[in-house]
């Protein structure tokens, strides 16, 4: 038998059933991270749990729920916290930001994105990978239920780039998200690179043509 307690699936008696992650912050407290799936909203539930002397674990009201669609923002937050700790001398691993960034690699979601980054470097265009997530849909309570994270941002051009080199069903989905983003954030400049655009740019890159198409 299981109960839902503050968004976390628990056994009767308080023991957590297969949380995504947990770690202790004191002798009687631990942080538990899990995913709570409702009818219309999926959230990351990050909560303080209390550990009794008998070993029982009880979730508390002390915690936060973050929409799953905002995962890229959580990732960026953790990276910036790590940088802040390094700058303030609180890191046990890195002496300075150069040392930290020297071991931090960009993990691309698709090979085409990595190839596109090489093309930008070839043309000496500064870029950032997935630097911002835009909420594009909310439920009646105002919770974010859908978001969009463009693949690249080019600071010098103030331009976001989204690659659409995959199958048509995904292209249609991305087209819808870009249209929503433009409607909700008219100040944001974004360009879609369709398969043909990407292949044309890739062809010029492979020929070593420095002229931007």
Q: Is there a domain that residue 77 lies in? A: no
Can you name the residues that pair with 51 across neighbouring β-strands? 57
For residue 103, the surrounding DSSP H or E stretch is helix 97-103
Q: How many domains does the chain have?
A: 2
The CATH number of whichever domain residue 185 belongs to comes to: 3.40.960.10
Nearest Cα residue to 176 out of 187, 162, 197, 160: 162
Last residue of a domain, one of 41, 68, 95: 68
CATH number at residue 41: 2.30.31
Are 202 and 114 members of one domain?
A: yes
Closest CA to 130 of 183, 65, 81, 74: 74
C-alpha dihedral sign at 110, 111, 114, 118: negative
Candidates 36, 9, 11, 31; CA nearest to 21 is: 31
Shared-domain flag, residues 37 and 120: no
| C-alpha–C-alpha distance, residues 107 and 75, integer Å | 12
Helix, coil or strand: residue 116: helix
Q: In this predicted structure, what is the pLDDT of residue 13?
A: 41
Tell me, yes or no, whether 50 and 119 share the same domain: no
113 and 201, same domain (yes or no): yes
State the pLDDT at residue 123.
83
Task: Specify whether 203 is located in the same domain as 111.
Answer: yes
> Which residues fall within 8 angstroms of residue 196, CB to CB, at 6 or more apart?
none
Residues 39 and 123 in one domain: no
Domain-embedded: residue 23: yes
3-state per-residue secondary structure call for 149-193: CCCEEECCCCEEEEEECCCHHHHHHHHHHHHHHHHHCCCCCEEEE
Q: Among 38, 68, 98, which residue terminates a domain?
A: 68
Closest CA to 190 of 210, 162, 171: 162
| C-alpha distance from residue 24 to each of 9, 47, 91 (Å) | 19, 12, 19
Domain contains 95: no
What distance lies between CA 137 and its chain's CA centroid?
Answer: 17
- 110 & 203 share domain: yes
Q: Torsion over CA of 150, 182, 148 and 133, rounded to 10 degrees?
A: 70
Does one domain contain both 203 and 113?
Answer: yes
SS3 label, residue 119: helix
User: Which of 19, 40, 68 lies at the terminal end of a domain, its last residue?
Assistant: 68
Ordered per-residue pLDDT tens for the chain, 213 residues: 333 444 434 433 444 457 889 999 998 999 999 998 877 788 999 999 998 888 788 888 889 999 998 998 998 899 899 999 999 999 888 888 888 877 777 888 888 888 889 888 888 889 999 999 999 999 888 889 899 999 999 999 999 999 886 666 678 888 999 999 999 999 999 998 876 776 676 666 565 555 544
Q: Is the full-model pTM beyond 0.85?
A: no
**Residue 12 pLDDT:** 35
Q: Are residues 127 and 203 in the same domain?
A: yes
Answer whether residue 64 is part of any domain: yes
Give a yes or no: residue 73 inside a domain.
no
Asked whether residue 97 is assigned to any structural domain, the reply reads no
Q: Which domain holds residue 121?
A: 106-207
* Residues 64 and 110 both lie in one domain: no
Residues 58 and 111 grouped into a single domain: no
81 assigned to some structural domain: no
In a domain, 84, yes or no: no
What was the pLDDT predicted at 7? 41
């Amino acid at each position: 038998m299981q109960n839902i307690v503050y968004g976390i699936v628990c056994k009767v008696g308080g023991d957590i059933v297969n949380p995504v992650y947990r770690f202790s912050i004191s002798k009687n407290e631990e942080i538990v991270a899990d995913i709570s799936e409702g009818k219309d909203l999926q959230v990351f539930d990050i909560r303080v749990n209390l550990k009794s002397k008998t070993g029982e674990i009880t979730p508390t009201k002390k915690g936060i729920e973050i929409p799953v669609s905002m995962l890229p923002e959580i990732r960026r937050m953790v990276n910036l916290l790590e940088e802040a700790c390094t700058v303030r001398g609180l890191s046990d691993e890195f002496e300075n930001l150069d040392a930290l960034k020297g071991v931090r690699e960009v993990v691309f979601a698709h090979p085409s994105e990595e190839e596109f980054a090489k093309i930008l470097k070839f043309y000496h265009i500064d870029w950032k990978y997935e630097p911002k997530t835009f909420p594009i849909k909310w439920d009646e309570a105002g919770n974010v239920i859908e978001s969009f994270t463009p693949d690249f941002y080019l600071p010098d051009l103030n331009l976001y780039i989204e690659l659409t080199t995959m199958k048509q069903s995904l292209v249609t989905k991305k087209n819808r998200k870009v249209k929503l983003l433009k409607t909700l954030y008219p100040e944001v400049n974004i360009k879609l690179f369709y398969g043909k655009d990407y292949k044309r740019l890739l062809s010029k890159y492979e020929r070593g043509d420095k002229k931007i198409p």
